A and B are shown apart, each in its own frame.
Chain A
């Protein structure tokens, strides 16, 4: 248990479905992130939230919609996904504004398959 919990661990959804991924941290961190990990590609940063405010959206398609109701919870709402969206989605948290040696704490990820 890393301190960052992601649910569900696995998700299979059809292209017309709507689902949500959930991330929860109780480390007292004030920044949370969504990453997409596809095979043989670097991790792709999708969204960044600092103090519940979205500070970055790396040209992510609108079929991915993040929500951060408080500094401990982060959601990724999914709708009308494509098969190429199948990937491991990782959530991470950190303490923003700290020294360089502060790394991310990652969750175990949600393995998403779009059929």
Chain B
């Protein structure tokens, strides 16, 4: 079974609007971390935001926030006030307790329209 599922291959958003990128995960480990990475066309993977399984509050980093629904095993990324520079691939990833390996989803391509 897939550890990380991203069901939106492509998304479009108007500049200055908010957009939500979906991510669901599968683990039986009570201890895990969830990450979002941005990959522009240059190829580099840029860390955006982290949410721990025991964190009580949703993580926020500037215009990025993570909508963590633990019972639903979802960790959606919300980007507020979209900018043209936000156009990129976005990957959700999970790290389980005790391990170094990351599990990545297939990614969502976001296009911001002027």
Interface residues of A, Cβ cutoff 8 Å to B: 2, 9, 31, 40-43, 45, 48, 50, 56, 88, 90, 92, 94, 96, 100-101, 103-109, 111
Contact = CB atoms under 8 A, between A and B. Distances in A.
Nearest to B105: A42
B50 interface: yes
- Most B CB contacts (10 A, CB to CB) among A31, A105, A106 go to A106
A85 B97 CA distance: 32
Interface in B65-89: none
Contacts of B28: none
Given A42-B4, A109-B43, A31 B100 contact: yes
B52 A106 contact: no
B113 interface: no
6 contacts: A41-B106, A45-B101, A48-B101, A104-B45, A106-B45, A108-B42
B39 to A, nearest CB: 9
A28 to B, nearest CB: 16
B102 A104 contact: yes
B44 A108 contact: yes
Nearest to B3: A42
Nearest to B103: A42
A44 B45 CA distance: 14
Given A90-B43, A96-B100, A108-B43, 12 more contacts: A41-B106, A42-B103, A43-B91, A48-B100, A48-B101, A92-B45, A103-B50, A106-B45, A106-B46, A108-B42, A108-B44, A111-B43
B47 interface: yes
Contact of A101 (B9, B50, B101, B106): B50
B45 A90 contact: yes
A106 B104 CA distance: 13
Contacts of A92: 45
- Which of A50, A103, A104, A109: most chain B Cβ within 10 A? A103
A94 B100 CA distance: 8
A103 B92 CA distance: 12
Interface string B27-45: 0000111010100001111
